[in-house]
Structure formats: C-alpha cells, structure tokens
Structure 1
Amino acid sequence: MTDYDVVDSPEKYRHAIDALSAGTGPVGVDAERASGFRYSQRAYLIQMFRRDAGVFLFDPPALGGLARLQDAVGDTPWILHAASQDLACLREVGLDPATIFDTELGARLLGFPRVGLGTIVEELLGIHLAKEHSAADWSTRPLPQSWLTYAALDVELLVDLMEAEQGLLADAHKEVIAEQEFSFELTRSPKPARSEPWRRLSGVHSIRGLRNLAVARELWNARDAFAREKDVAPGRLLPDASITAVARTMPASKRELAALREFTGRASRTEIDRWWDAVSRGRSTDDLPVLRGSGESIPPPRAWADRNPEAHARLQSARAVVTAEAETLNLPVENLLSPETLRRLAWTPPSHVDETSIAEAMLAAEARPWQVEATAAKVAEAFVEADQSPVVRPESGS
C-alpha cells in the first residue's frame, strides 16, 4: 500500500507545483472539510491528481494562500465530484478553475439513481471505493495514513471516471446539456445569506408563542457567536434539541435552566451564564419575532388548494408534464427544472401565458437554455389548460 505524504512545507509545495505543471490532461480535485466539528467550512486538505504527475495532498492551514498552485493548474480543466460542495472552500484559498467536469452531476444527467462517488466508481469502473472516513474531523493533525489513503483515492480515479461518463453522455446526446450545467455550476452566484437563519433550527416548528420564539432566537444567536469565536460546530456546543426544549419550557431561573434534563451539550453547563443571559434577553425583549419568517414569499404547496386553488391547478398540471419529460430524457425531474422555479411560476405566472413569456421567466430564474427548450412550451400549455378548467373552491365555514 502506498504511503502518502502531506504537502505542508515550502519545499514540498514547490515540488508538487513542478510535478503538476509537467503532468498531462485534466486535474482531479477534491477538498476535505471538518463539517460537524468546526464552525468554518474551510478546506483542511486539498487533493489533486494529474496523469504523469501523481497525487498530491495539500495542507492549506500550513501553506496559507495557494496562488502559485492556481497559476500552475488554474487554466487546466478540473474534475470534481459534487463541485458545488467544494468550490467555495477552494476559492477561499485562491483556487478557482476556469472549466470543470462534475462527475456527480454527470451521473445525474445520465439518470443514475445513486450518484455517490463510491457507487459511480463501482458502477462504471468496477472498483470498490471504501468511504469509511468521509465524516472524519479533517482538522486533526497529524492526519492518519489511512485517512490520507482514502483522500488520495477520492481523486486518483476521477480522470478515468470522467472519461467513462463522457462516453455515456455522448451516446445519450447529452454533451450540450452537460456543458451548460457545468458552466452554470461554476459561475452561479452564491445564495444570499438568510435574513433570519435561526428559523432553520431543527424543531423550531414545535415552538408555540412569540415569546418562546424570541428565546429560541436569542439562544441560537448566542450559540452562533460563541461557535464562530471558538471555530466549533454549533451543535457540538449546544444541540438544537436543547434550544427548542428551553424555548418550549421557558425556565424562570438559571437554576431551572441548568436542571433541565434536555439541556445537554459540551458547553451547556460550562457556559451556563452565557445561555441564561440569552434566555433573559428573549424573555424581556420588545423585539418579538413574527410567527412566520419573511423569507417565505409563497406558502408550501400543501396549502395551495385552500389558499390559491388556481395556482394549485397550474402546479399540478405542470408537474405532470415536467415529470413525464424527465422520464423521457432519463433525468431526475429536479435536474430538468428546479422545483422552486416551477412553484414560483405557478404561483405568479406572467400576465399573458405563452411559450415566450414562460421561457423569459425561466431564464430570469436562472434556468439553462436546454431546460427552457425542453419545458417552456409544455409548461405554458399546462398552465393554459389549468386556467381554462373549472376550479373547485373549498367551501367556507358557516
């Protein structure tokens, strides 16, 4: 078994850059973070493979900026698996590809029901790829050799995997689709930060009362600030279940808070003053949250039949034709057209519905040209038919 060395010194860094520069073909790239252990999403290990060069495992915290590595391979096509998960942390250290091939997205476009790296490698290359360290704490130093072997295997096979998928995409006449999807993935803008991120608290929907929600909000904010300061995953300091338990029971004193059985976590007692201060702020604030977050511009589809039966009819009709088209193209329906885009179109369609107006609305929502070509006419027709059909409105209560 090969022993892998970590590139963590100037001398090793220079050697790696020289070797990768002299290599041939595209570069397989992966990054390992410490999700679930650290607050940040920084890369703690970056793996690269290029034919005639080999595998190199870079330690970003030890090396700092990687501008010279970017200069060496930035213009070379990169192969990643689930690129959307890694591009942000790669860019954080100065690594940004000019073009990519995403083997996970390629597998989705080919209609594979399971698209994890291990599954696709076994399916297309006949090689079993163990994934036992995928959830490891990659901020650990030194990294165990078994982890480095796992990390190296994540990139060593990416070039072979890309070539296998390219052949299948060509056979399925999906090369243009793949090119548009990869380009979009590379250039899409990051999602804007949520205005009220605390509302993503697991179990928040079990909390009743605006005062109780205020306590949950203040505890979430206190935990987030402390986790950012310590660079520790928030849930390791104070689990979501602890926050929701406090918000539901509303302890009246620090003693009651500390005695709460559901109040657990490594920092639940050592930082009890911090948490009690947050509870006190929530119990006394005049700035009470609204019941529903402002980010929810349209209600969930399950409520449409009662609240907007016309939109409900449009959505049901359009979903059916989009699903049928996805089956014809052997694509996951969500890759043919974003469910969010379809919902928003159904809720607020153009004033005059036809193929052109629907196509323009789809493009404005960042649908790709191939998606518009495949779905705009069908969605427009479905909307028109739904609007022309009688809508049964729910009877109002007496």
Structure 2
Amino acid sequence: MYIANQNELESFTKRAKESSVLAIDTEFLREKTYYARLCLLQIATDSETVIVDPFAIDDLSVLAPLLEDESIVKLFHAGGQDLEILYREIGILPKPIFDTQIAAALLGHTQQIGYAALVYAECGVQLKKVDSFTDWSRRPLSQSQLEYAADDVVYLPRIYASMHAALEEKGRLHWLDQDFEALSDPKRFETDERERYRRLKRVSQLSRKQLSAAREVAAWRELEAQRRDLPRKWIVTDEQIVEACKREARTIDELFMVRGIGDKIGTKDARTIVSLIAKGLDAPKETWPETDRNSRNERNVDAELDLMCALVRLRAKENGVAFPTLASHDDLAKVARGYTEGIDLLRGWRRALVGAELLELLAGNLTLSLDKGVLKVTETSQ
C-alpha cells in the first residue's frame, strides 16, 4: 500500500498497533546535503506492508507512539542510518530493536552480511537489484521501484521469527540485549564538533601542535556544514585541512598554497580558517590533543595477539560466531596491553564465550597446544 496523505498514515498507525512487529527501512539521499534527506519510509507489520511518501505527509510524528510501544519489536537490517533519520525526522528512537545483521553474526552468517544475501539464506528468495541505485527523490515512482522498496521490509518479519527461534534454541536470545539497547541511545547520534578532527583522513601525519589547529578548523567546518546543510567536503576536504595545518598556514597566501582550497572558499572563509589555525597553534601546550599513536609507544604484543587470536578463532568456530563479532582487533590489542575498562570483549556474552578465558591466558593460567592438528586449551597446574 502506497501512503501519500496524512489520513492514510494515521489509519495505518491505528491498524499497526495490533502487530507484534514493525519492520522498518528508509530510502534517502545524502550526496548533496549534510543531513540525509528522507525519500521513502517502508514499514511491514504482521499483516501488511506500506510505503510512506514523506514528501506528501504533513506530520510523520504520528508514528512516534508506534515506535515507542515496547510491546512491538522494531526490526531493522543494518539499521544505523535508518535510526539516525528517524531520530531527526520524528524526534525519538524506537524501542525495542532487533537488528537482523547483528543477530546473523551469532547464527553462523558472515560478519555484516547484506540484506539480499540474508534473504536468500533465510528465505530462499533472490531479490532483484535493478533499482538499487535509483533516485528516490524523483516522482512519480515506478511499480518496479515500489516493489524494490517493499522488498526491503517484507521479509524481515519472517527472518526475525526464524532467528528468534534459533537464538532461543541455542540459549542466545538475550546475548544481544545490550547491543540492541545501545542502538536506541540518542548519544549515538549526538555530534561533538570538537572531536571531529580525530576522524580526518591522514590526521596521523600531524604533530600535537598541528592537531590543535586541526581541531579548530574541523570544528568550524562541521558547524558550517550543518548550517549550510552541505557535505563536509564541499566546505573543505579532510586532506585540505590536514595539509593546511601541516603547513601551519597563518596567512591567506600560505593557505592558498594548499591544492584546490582556493577554488572552494572565498576570502572571508580563508580569513576564518587561518585565524583558527593560528589559534590552535598558539594554544598552551597542555591543551594540545593527545595523538592516537599511543600504541606505538607501548610494548609490542604481537606474541600475545597470536595466541589470543588462536583462542578466539577456536571459540568462534565452536559457537558458530563470526570472529570479528566476537572480538575486534582493537579490543584484543587493548586487552593484551592490560586494559580492561570499556571493552566489549570483556562484557556480557563475549566475556562468557572467550573474554574471561583470554584474561586467564594472559595471566599464564592457560596453555595452548596442538594435539593431532587440533588446538587444545589446558589449565596450567598451580
């Protein structure tokens, strides 16, 4: 059903209250804006599938009570961007959530499995790809486009039912509770412009003093991109920020020596950028950001990581869990160096499967050996 007016949407919300699930997906464009532009909202319940045209709807907030109804499970596949858009458009985040991509990793599927691959694996259906790169902002939409959009949610209730049963059978139904609850945390979508510099491409090339300048420029660019609703790189690119700060450009002439930057900004913005670079460079040394190169200054843990990876690989295979889902390389490196706080590997189901064992391994309380080509884990004698 194609919903293109407010009355139809309100009627649907009344019917959907009786559903046990709400499968949700969005189609959006972001190439020319900072904020994603919602172009379609697809929703499937126990009994129907609707496609909501946000261009024709006066108020999407009528969906809020449904999204907040904790008796209805909201289904997503790799729902991070969908949740961000719902939060911006409606002002709330759904609860409770079940993300089939996250759950798939606990059921033997590959890490970050795509929706089409999961539909084929769980439902035996080969989805059409003809409209995967369509311009969803154009109207009218063709029947083929509508069918493609509907397919993104129509199989989610069936996949959820299958996964729910499989997780329950394996005793893993609540393993992902914390992961799913985290998806509904508004903090995930709150941006701190003062921290944006850490994500600049090639930022590792900068000294602490230059990082101080990059922090100022990246924060300004973030706020400008939001204000103008333009992609960050349309203001200035990551590479241009890093190069300008590496040069420690204090004048417009020095700034314009950075390739391409003179084509992007005018004199006013140039003055702002060089003043921000100077501000960062002249800031007291104690306020300069720390670099993310700390690991280079810490002891080498390659041997520990080799042993840890062998143990994680064994437990991942035994439990049918994708290795990266069980333990990321960053988490393994932190644990090897003695860190224990704020590490997913040492919390919840991951700790139960292998995290606690890894601590025992590092403490010398476990040994790894081969027995006819099979890895054995043995407690050391005290």
TM-score by length of 2: 0.75
Structure 2 CA distance for aligned equivalents of residues 132 and 276 of structure 1 = 48
Name the aligned partner's letter for residue 90 of structure 1.
L
2: CA distance, partners of 1:215 / 1:377: 42
Aligned counterpart, 2:298 = 307
Q: 2:155 — aligned with what?
A: 157
Is 1:379 the counterpart of 2:358 in the alignment? yes
Structure 1 residue 207, shift from structure 2 partner: 4.0
The answer to whether the 8 A contact 2:217-2:273 is kept is: yes
Check the 8 A contact 2:346/2:356 in 1, yes or no: no
Which is further off, 121-130 or 256-265? 256-265
SS in 2 for 1:326: helix
* Residue in 1 that maps onto 2:322: 332
Contact 1:57 1:152 in 2 (8 A): no
The 2-side partners of 1:127 and 1:152 are apart by 14
**Equivalent residue letter for 2:324:** E
What does residue range 65-84 of structure 1 map to in structure 2 within 5 Å?
66-71=61-66, 74=69, 75-84=71-80
Kept after mapping to 1: 8 A contact 2:211/2:289: no
Structure 2 residue 12 is the aligned partner of structure 1 residue 11: no
Q: Determine the structure 2 residue equivalent to 1:129.
A: 127
Identity in percent? 21
Matching of residues 63-142 of structure 1 within 5 Å:
63-64=58-59, 66-71=61-66, 74=69, 75-92=71-88, 93-113=90-110, 115-130=113-128, 140=137, 142=139
1:230-245 equivalences in 2 (<5 Å): 230-245=228-243
**Letter of the 2:97 counterpart:** I
Quote the offset at 1:163 in angstroms. Answer: 3.3
Matches of 2:291 and 2:246, distance apart in 1: 24
Segments of 5+ residues of structure 1 without an aligned counterpart are 351-360, 389-398
How far apart in 2 are the matches of 1:227 and 1:308? 40
**Residue-by-residue CA offset, 1:318-357 (whole Å, 9 max, x unaligned):** 333122211221212232245444443332367xxxxxxx
Deviation at 1:229, TM superposition (A): 0.4
* Mapped partners of 2:58, 2:98: distance in 1: 27
| 1:274 shift after superposition | 0.7
Distance in 2 of aligned mates of 1:288 and 1:150: 56
SS of alignment partner, residue 321 of structure 2 = coil
Q: Structure 1 residues 264, 94: closer, same or farther in 2, change over 3 A?
A: same
CA shift at 1:257, angstroms? 4.4
Superposition deviation, residue 94 in structure 1: 4.6
Q: Which residue number corresponds to residue 356 of structure 1?
A: none
Aligned to 2:370: none
Aligned counterpart, 1:394: none
The farther-off stretch of 147-156 and 229-238 is 147-156
Residue 147 of structure 1, CA deviation: 5.0
- Report SS of the residue matched to 2:13: helix
Q: Rate the CA distance shift 1:28–1:278 in 2: closer, same or farther, 3 A.
A: same
Aligned partners of 2:75 and 2:157 also within 8 Å: yes
Tell me the matched-pair count: 358
**Could you list the runs of 4 or more consecutive aligned residues of structure 1 that deviate by over 6 angstroms after TM superposition?**
288-292
CA distance in 2, matches of 1:263, 1:137: 30
The one-letter code sitting in structure 2 at the alignment partner of 1:48 is: I
- State the partner residue of 1:30: 25
- Tell me the residue number matched to 1:396: none
CA contact (8 A) 1:37 1:137 kept: no
Q: 1:102, 1:182 within 8 Å by CA — same for their partners in 2?
A: no
- Check if 1:279 corresponds to 2:269: no
Structure 2 counterpart of 1:381, one-letter code: E
Instruction: Please tell me whether the aligned partners of residues 22 and 44 of structure 2 are also in contact (alpha carbons under 8 angstroms).
Output: yes
For residues 162-205 of structure 1, the C-alpha deviation after alignment (integer angstroms, 9 at most, x for no partner) is: 234345546xx43x324321453224654586653212111222
Q: Give the 3-state SS of the residue equivalent to 1:287 in structure 2.
A: coil
